[in-house]
Amino acid sequence: MKKIFKLVLLNLILVSNLLSSKIIVGASPVPHAEIINFIKPDLQKAGYDVKIVEFNDYVIPNYALENDEIHFNFTIGLPYMKEFNREKGTHMVAVAGVHIEPLGVYSKKIKSLNELKNRAKVTIPNDVSTETRALRLLEKAGLLKLDKADAEFVTVLDILENPKNLEIITLEPASVPRSLDDTDIAVINANFALSANLSPKNDSLFLEDKDSPYLNVLIVKEGNENLQSTKDFVKIITSDKVREFIESKYDGSIIPAF
* CATH number, position 134: 3.40.190.10
Boundaries of domain holding 174: 104-207
Show Cβ contacts of residue 136 under 8 Å, excluding neighbours closer than 6 positions. 146, 154
Structurally, the chain folds into a number of domains equal to 2
Are 96 and 116 members of one domain? Answer: no
Are 249 and 224 members of one domain? Answer: yes
The model's pLDDT over 86-105, given as tens digits with 9 standing for 90+, comes to 999 999 999 999 999 999 99
Are 74 and 151 members of one domain? Answer: no
Q: What is the mean pLDDT of residues 61-78?
A: 98
pTM: 0.83
Are 112 and 82 members of one domain? Answer: no
Cα separation, 206 vs 141, whole angstroms:
7
Tally of CA atoms within 13 A in the half-sphere of 46 that contains its CB: 21
Q: What integer pLDDT is reported at residue 20 of this predicted model?
A: 55
Q: What integer pLDDT is reported at residue 212 of this predicted model?
A: 84
Are 89 and 112 members of one domain? Answer: no
pLDDT band of 210, cuts 50, 70, 90:
confident
